[in-house]
Structure 1
Amino acid sequence: MSLTQSLQSFKSRNYRLFFSGQSLSMIGSLMTETTCAWLVSSQTESVTLLGLIGFLSQVPNLIVSPLAGIWIEQFNRRNILIATQFIMMILSLALAIFAFTGIISIWQIICASILQGLLSSVEIPARYAFIMDIIENKEDITNATALHSSLLSGSRIIAPAIAGIIIASLSPAHCFLIDGISYITIITALLAIKVNKLTMVHRNYQNNIWQNLKEGFTYAYYFLPIRSILLLIALLSFLGMPYLRIMPVFAIQILQGDSTTLGFLTGASGLGALCGGIYLSSQTNLVRLGKIIAFAPAIFGTALITFSLSRSFWLSLMIVPIIGCSYILEYSSSNSVLQIISDDEKRGRLMSIYNMSVMGIIPFGNLFISGLASIFNATNALIFGGLSCILGSIIFYKMLPKIENLLHPIYVSKGILDE
């Protein structure tokens, strides 16, 4: 794997601008997320309230995302991104002012989290679709998506550490302020990006928004490759990813550790995700992506079961990166394939449904797996989740030849593969 091949998307001026602006903004956003969690925990010592805020911030991805897909196709995507980033900046600066003046309260954090969730439910699918707009060579879309996933994974490792240092040495208000300022980089980058088609509108939309919404879901459901990929990623989001929610149970109760143990385990998961993104950035074979989508959930499920049965900190520390790596392989590969095969006039809605299948499903999965853990215990809950992911992988693998046959003409028509 050569470095040039892994960074081939950076040949695009537009992508370089987007990536550089997004990197600082994403770290800032995750610093605010960490700071809000710290303030809620330190002021209330309520795990329930902390979980509720996380739930409320993610639920809009399930409710609003499908509608956002219609707006993304009807309006200028760059303007949508600039508008959402600007409002997020105002929210972060408002939190900074509240914190500096000492009047910040839990209800303000809750309101800000809900608003951030609403904005993210529009911004995330718009960002996915916009990446496709600014990549001149569509063969680089896998690389671009993987690098973007690596950026997110790397930010999740770096941002909490930076936030912790700033909170300890300065104050939570400074974290909010830095986040607010960081949005300037992505807004500036978006303004500097040059695209030929600022608005991806290819037909006259019907006035009935529900008809447009129905058309998007019908398109996703009746095309086997899209339906299969979305269902598989939703399965991982619902029964697999909630392992992060009950990770403290394993770190403290099962492995007999403390907050440092939890930090090592979550950091190792993020490091594995980062490595998975870097590996995927070197992949150019679209047929291989289909196999990655098929096998990654099985690896994820097997690692999850092994982790749940482990009673050794060092074994757990070696297994967790595999969980993070396999998930990001599934997440990014699915994103890339969906971006490439989708019709231009339906890409916004498809990316919104994809976002709903990932971010919108996770909070409900957190509730389900947490409830399962409280009834049967955390080990059995993760074993159930792992077995479900393996089963989903087997079903998808059996359908893979048919899926590949359906996708091959699309790849050929788009000039990505030869006859």
Structure 2
Amino acid sequence: MNWLPEPLRIPNYRAYWLARLAATLAQLAMVTAIEYQVYAIARETMSPAAAAFRLGLIGFVQFVPLFFLSPFAGWAADRIDRRILARAAIVIEIGCAASLAYFTAMGSITLPIIYAIAVFVGVARVLMGPSMSALASNIVPRAILPNAIALSSIAWQAGTILGPALGGYLLAVSIQTAYFTATGLFIASLISLFFISEVRQTLAERTSGPIRQIINGLKYVRDNKLVLGAITLDLCAVLLGSAVALLPIFAADIFNGGPDLFGHLRAAPAVGATTVAIIFAIRPLKTNVGAKMLVAVGIFGLATIGFGLSRSIPLTFFFLIVIGAADMFSVYVRSSLIQLYTPDEMRGRVGAVSTLSISASNELGDAESGLMASIFGPTTAAVLGGIGAVVVTLIWAWKFPQLRLAKSFEPPDPDEHPRREKG
């Protein structure tokens, strides 16, 4: 298998990569069906503004467990075998997808049931985030970790491309078909995770209790200004510029399309993202990584403004592709910086902070977009969000010079880590 990229020559990494691909396919197909079903149910009895607000609530109910449980999930990822946590998360996802399929097939699905299941989707994500993000660094040598991160992003973005499109096409058959398919893909992911044999993992020392160790992880993020800047930049920019949450409204009410068009629009950002991930897997980024990340986030904001103003389907596809490409650029740099600037015994906790910020930007971004769309309409909501992302980029470039001046992914010396575990 010498023709494969170096990380994929490692059997454990191949199993990890397939598990992430299958889980992402399942997750996005399921979420696509949830979004479409919530908006469709709400529009039966509500105005477009009220339905947009109900759509935004899906993000909020997923975020609540993430907010409260993320610190403990990060601690667990540093104290427990990360493979076990990832498997537990997938088991919960299987239960969620199967429950949605059952209630939909029986004709008894309601908005409260969907919201209740979405809470457990959030619980699964809080377990999955820090365990899976930190697990990659335990599987591959440090020298090829940026390549492994890029390949992992390809798996995620391939799932992000195919998952929404798959969900959209399956919705044309029936909503329960989308949920049953997601259930099968989650099962495939679980099987792949069981093929990952024992890996090296530096466990956090028992020099203090779990609360103190959680606090140590938060202090590490606070003291490492580069990591803090990278995490909070994504949090604020995507929180404001979450255009994806508005796609059901654009597909149904602006372009008068059905589930097929929604699936295509939902997949468009990942086309650009996967293109960027493939480029980085072949030719990893090596120079001026911080400045380039800031430029990418600025482009993300400008493309979001273009998306909101567009009334042409091809032009909308173009802006969504640019949004995905810029977001992937940012994800690649942020993930590499966090993994390589963080000691292994703290990666779970730092990963939990990163997962919480990503979820806050995504889930709360969905809620914010839905609320803004219900008040100002989808066009104004998207344009204001894009402007906000650009403003955030300019502020962060000034406030976090460590991020702007970061030249490469490697810390200059071992003392670059501002703080390791203390009792």
* TM-score, normalised by the number of residues in structure 2: 0.83
* 2:27 corresponds to 1:22: no
What is the DSSP-based 3-state SS (H/G/I as helix, E as strand, rest coil) of the residue aligned with 1:364? helix
What is the DSSP-based 3-state SS (H/G/I as helix, E as strand, rest coil) of the residue aligned with 2:282? coil
Give the alignment's Cα RMSD to 1 decimal.
3.2
Match of 2:9, as an amino acid? Answer: K
Unaligned runs of 5+ in 2: 418-423
Cα distance in 1 for residues equivalent to 2:69 and 2:22: 26
Q: Hey, what does 1:77 align to over in structure 2?
A: 82
**Comparing 405-414 and 291-300, the one that deviates more:** 405-414
Superposed, 1:324-343 pairs within 5 Å as 324-343=324-343
Cα distance in 2 for residues equivalent to 1:298 and 1:62: 27
Query: Aligned to 1:138, which of 136, 139, 142?
Result: 142
Cα distance in 1 for residues equivalent to 2:88 and 2:404: 43
Tell me if the contact between 1:60 and 1:360 (Cα under 8 Å) persists in the aligned partners.
Answer: no
What is the DSSP-based 3-state SS (H/G/I as helix, E as strand, rest coil) of the residue aligned with 1:390? helix
* 2:198 corresponds to 1:189: no
1:211 to partner: Cα distance: 2.5
Cα distance in 1 for residues equivalent to 2:337 and 2:69: 23
Cα distance in 1 for residues equivalent to 2:308 and 2:172: 33
Cα distance in 2 for residues equivalent to 1:404 and 1:192: 37
Change over 3 Å in CA distance of 1:200–1:290 after alignment to 2: same
Unaligned runs of 5+ in 1: 415-419
**Comparing 104-113 and 328-337, the one that deviates more:** 104-113
Provide the aligned length of Structure 1 versus Structure 2: 405
Q: Hey, what does 2:153 align to over in structure 1?
A: 149
Query: Aligned to 1:113, which of 106, 114, 118?
Result: 118
Q: Hey, what does 2:345 align to over in structure 1?
A: 345
The percentage of counterpart residues that share the same residue type is 23
Change over 3 Å in CA distance of 1:389–1:407 after alignment to 2: farther
Change over 3 Å in CA distance of 1:134–1:9 after alignment to 2: same
Match of 1:28, as an amino acid? Answer: A
What whole-Å deviation, never above 9, does each CA across 1:250-291 have from its counterpart, x for those lacking one? 5566x6554466554433223122222222223434434333
Cα distance in 1 for residues equivalent to 2:33 and 2:247: 20
Change over 3 Å in CA distance of 1:157–1:78 after alignment to 2: same
Tell me if the contact between 1:237 and 1:357 (Cα under 8 Å) persists in the aligned partners.
Answer: no
Change over 3 Å in CA distance of 1:285–1:269 after alignment to 2: closer
What is the DSSP-based 3-state SS (H/G/I as helix, E as strand, rest coil) of the residue aligned with 2:126? helix
**Comparing 329-338 and 23-32, the one that deviates more:** 23-32
Change over 3 Å in CA distance of 1:314–1:358 after alignment to 2: same
Tell me if the contact between 1:92 and 1:180 (Cα under 8 Å) persists in the aligned partners.
Answer: yes
Tell me if the contact between 1:341 and 1:411 (Cα under 8 Å) persists in the aligned partners.
Answer: no
**Comparing 176-185 and 108-117, the one that deviates more:** 176-185
Cα distance in 2 for residues equivalent to 1:27 and 1:263: 13
What whole-Å deviation, never above 9, does each CA across 1:170-191 have from its counterpart, x for those lacking one? x444433333333332222222
What whole-Å deviation, never above 9, does each CA across 1:191-224 have from its counterpart, x for those lacking one? 2212342x531411422x3322222111101111
Q: Hey, what does 1:203 align to over in structure 2?
A: 205
1:164 to partner: Cα distance: 4.0
Tell me if the contact between 1:142 and 1:333 (Cα under 8 Å) persists in the aligned partners.
Answer: no
Tell me if the contact between 2:62 and 2:363 (Cα under 8 Å) persists in the aligned partners.
Answer: no
Cα distance in 2 for residues equivalent to 1:32 and 1:307: 25
Change over 3 Å in CA distance of 1:288–1:358 after alignment to 2: same
Cα distance in 2 for residues equivalent to 1:31 and 1:327: 20
Cα distance in 1 for residues equivalent to 2:414 and 2:21: 31
Q: Hey, what does 1:417 align to over in structure 2?
A: none
What is the DSSP-based 3-state SS (H/G/I as helix, E as strand, rest coil) of the residue aligned with 2:227? helix
Tell me if the contact between 1:76 and 1:200 (Cα under 8 Å) persists in the aligned partners.
Answer: no
Cα distance in 2 for residues equivalent to 1:249 and 1:43: 13
Cα distance in 2 for residues equivalent to 1:286 and 1:410: 17
1:134 to partner: Cα distance: 1.1
Tell me if the contact between 1:96 and 1:177 (Cα under 8 Å) persists in the aligned partners.
Answer: yes
Superposed, 1:367-382 pairs within 5 Å as 367-373=367-373, 378-382=378-382
Tell me if the contact between 2:237 and 2:393 (Cα under 8 Å) persists in the aligned partners.
Answer: no
